[in-house]
Amino acid sequence: MTIKAKAGDAGRLYGSITAKDVAEAISQVIGVAVDRRKIELHEPIREIGEHIITVRVHPGVSAEVCVKVVPE
């Protein structure tokens, strides 16, 4: 999954990607609403690149999602 964000020359984002942003992106890709509280993101994403995020699908069931952050 790819998320576009504004970034500087050094690869740092001007803002950050939060669990809410990831949940919205997942919902757009799969067409099913995902609760942001099910996204295990220990701190907001602040750099361009690939990040592995855990999504709690069901109690006892988790999935890892690769989020690729690219500059706009």
Q: What is the pLDDT of residues 1-47, one digit of tens each?
A: 899 999 998 989 999 999 999 999 999 998 989 999 999 998 999 99
Q: What is the pLDDT of residues 29-41, one digit of tens each?
A: 989 899 999 999 9
For 30-47, letters b (16+ CB in 10 Å) and e give eeeebeeebbebeeebee
| Domains contained in the chain, CATH given | 2-71 (3.10.430.100)
Contacts of 18 (CB under 8 A, 6+ apart): 36, 41, 44
Q: Bridge partners of 61?
A: 58
Q: State the residue for tokens 């997942």.
A: 26
Residue type, position 38, single letter: K
pTM: 0.84
Query: What span, in angstroms and rounded, lies between the C-alpha atoms of 69 and 7?
Result: 10
